[in-house]
């Protein structure tokens, strides 16, 4: 069974950093692009960005709202992906989901349960 | 960025009703359009990929159509478990963007 499990969320002050982890099981992480999606409380879904496979050059793309502050990485040998969030702002408060790209049309065919990040002083 | 406009933002329907949700892209995205269902407190789940492909395990009462800029999600006969929020997502070009969502409520 394909599973994605996020961890690392919590309460953090503005300007600080936080690293989220996404542990994959039931499939070979290295074969898939991983995307991060966030959802502020009571709001819709927002694409944060993705990290392609190493075979695809490990290319990363980011939403403008997080570019130069967030960094995606992956350790395929451990089946873990990371989202390093720096210089956090209150508007980054959201549930963060890691998702697997289904490779057909940028579809996100498996989602983690999400981890809540709250940025507040 | 490509803007995705979903309509309606909410609707009330009864069990057994046929429900249609539309999604319009601000520019052509070919068939790079996906649909998701999200129930309260849960992660979204993929229903339809590439505009009309039914994701494995999704009931056949769900269907998608469209290409270019105009897309439709149809639920042929609404079931109690279908009351949820629905989102379209374009992957024609980055940044990928979502519609604002449609909340389907019980009439």
The string of pLDDT tens digits covering residues A3-33 is: 999 999 999 999 999 999 999 999 999 999 9
User: Which residue in chain A has the smallest CA separation from B40?
Assistant: A42
Task: Report whether A2 contacts A79 (CB < 8 A).
Answer: no
Chain A contact for B25, CB < 8 A? Answer: no
Is residue A104's pLDDT more than 90?
Answer: no
Q: How many alpha carbons fall within 13 Å on the CB side of residue B62?
A: 22
A103 touches B at CB < 8 Å: no
Q: Specify burial of residue A10 (Cβ count, 10 A radius: 0-12, 13-18, 19+).
A: exposed
- pLDDT tens track for A63-103: 999 999 999 999 999 999 999 999 999 999 999 999 999 88
Maximum C-alpha span of chain B: 38
Cβ separation A106–B44 shorter than 8 A: no
Q: Is A109 on the interface with B (CB under 8 A)?
A: yes
Distance separating alpha carbons of residues A106 and A35, to the nearest angstrom? 9
B100 touches chain A (CB under 8 A): yes
Q: What is the mean pLDDT of residues B72-96?
A: 97
* DSSP secondary structure string for all residues of B20-55: EEEEEESS--TT-EEEEEE-TTS--EEEEETTTEEP
- Tell me if A104 and B44 make a contact (CB, 8 A cut-off): no
């Amino acid at each position: 069974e394909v599973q994605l499990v996020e961890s690392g969320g919590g309460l953090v002050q503005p300007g600080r950093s936080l690293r989220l982890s996404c542990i994959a099981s039931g499939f070979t992480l290295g074969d898939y692009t991983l995307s991060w999606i966030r959802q502020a409380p009571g709001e819709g879904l927002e694409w944060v960005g993705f990290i392609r496979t190493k075979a695809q050059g490990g290319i990363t793309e980011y939403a403008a709202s997080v570019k130069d502050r967030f960094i995606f990485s992956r350790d395929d040998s451990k089946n873990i992906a990371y989202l390093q969030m720096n210089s956090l702002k209150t508007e980054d408060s959201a549930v963060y989901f890691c998702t697997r790209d289904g490779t057909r049309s940028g579809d996100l065919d498996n989602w983690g349960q999400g981890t809540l990040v709250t940025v507040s002083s | 960025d490509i803007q995705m406009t979903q309509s309606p933002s909410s609707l009330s329907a009864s069990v057994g009703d046929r429900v249609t949700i539309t999604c319009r892209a601000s520019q052509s995205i070919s068939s790079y359009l996906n649909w998701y269902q999200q129930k309260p407190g849960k992660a979204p789940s993929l229903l339809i990929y590439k505009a009309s492909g039914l994701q494995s395990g999704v009931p056949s009462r769900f269907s998608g159509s469209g290409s270019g800029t105009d897309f439709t999600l149809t639920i042929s006969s609404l079931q109690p478990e279908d009351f949820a929020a629905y989102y379209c997502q374009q992957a024609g070009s980055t940044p990928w963007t979502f519609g604002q969502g449609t909340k389907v409520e019980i009439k």
